[in-house]
Chain A
């Protein structure tokens, strides 16, 4: 079984501030982990994915995430928020031969000028 918990349905930051979106997963076997972003009226787009090659994963638009097995976490960070980062972010886990990822409930990132 696999599951994902995203802490905080809304995160608000000022432009230029650090972005931290939290994701904790549960999986009985080594997982693959993903972060997706959804802009208004659009589908989801892959930001980055962890496939066991490296624990620190760099993605598009300056985002990165670190896989921490001991904490079962895969938090998403960006050093400096931009207004264009305002969107919904989804963490997903896929493991154990499943072809279907399990998505978290999503975190809405709000960026203030």
Chain B
């Protein structure tokens, strides 16, 4: 099976702009989670989508949003970018059912730099 893919891998934006990141999960996986990783804050959970519905949400402002399509692909959008949004954004997929033992499969991430 192909792994989790994320596009683009690198992105440079300026403050005030918006950005959309894309994630394609492993075939058959219905849950997609997004994380923000920074040196100062570590790995922080943004949100999780399952069958096109947001099932869990982390503690991020409304500028961060996402969606999931019927083929389980997911997009994440950040509006009105701030310097502090510079981070590695990781997407992870899992089957999404059957209990807590399902490992998360991570993509390589999108490195966002806000200037």
Contacts and interface: CB of A to CB of B under 8 A. Distances in A.
B42 A106 contact: yes
A37 to B, nearest CB: 11
Contacts of A36: 106
A100 interface: yes
A43 B100 contact: no
A94 B33 CA distance: 14
Interface string A38-50: 0001111110010
Nearest to B111: A41
Contact of B108 (A42, A94, A96, A99): A42
A106 B56 CA distance: 23
A96 B99 CA distance: 9
Do most interface residues of chain B lie in helix, strand or loop, or is the interface mixed?
strand
Contacts of B96: 99
Interface in A21-79: 31-32, 34, 36, 41-46, 49, 51
For B43, B50, B100, B107, which residue has the most chain A Cβ atoms within 10 angstroms?
B100
Given A42-B108, A43-B109, A99-B48, A49 B101 contact: yes
Interface of B: 4, 31, 33, 42-43, 45, 48, 50, 55-56, 90, 92, 94, 96, 99-101, 103-109, 111
Interface of A: 31-32, 34, 36, 41-46, 49, 51, 90, 94-101, 103-106
12 contacts: A32-B100, A32-B101, A41-B109, A43-B108, A44-B104, A46-B105, A49-B101, A98-B56, A98-B100, A100-B33, A100-B45, A106-B43
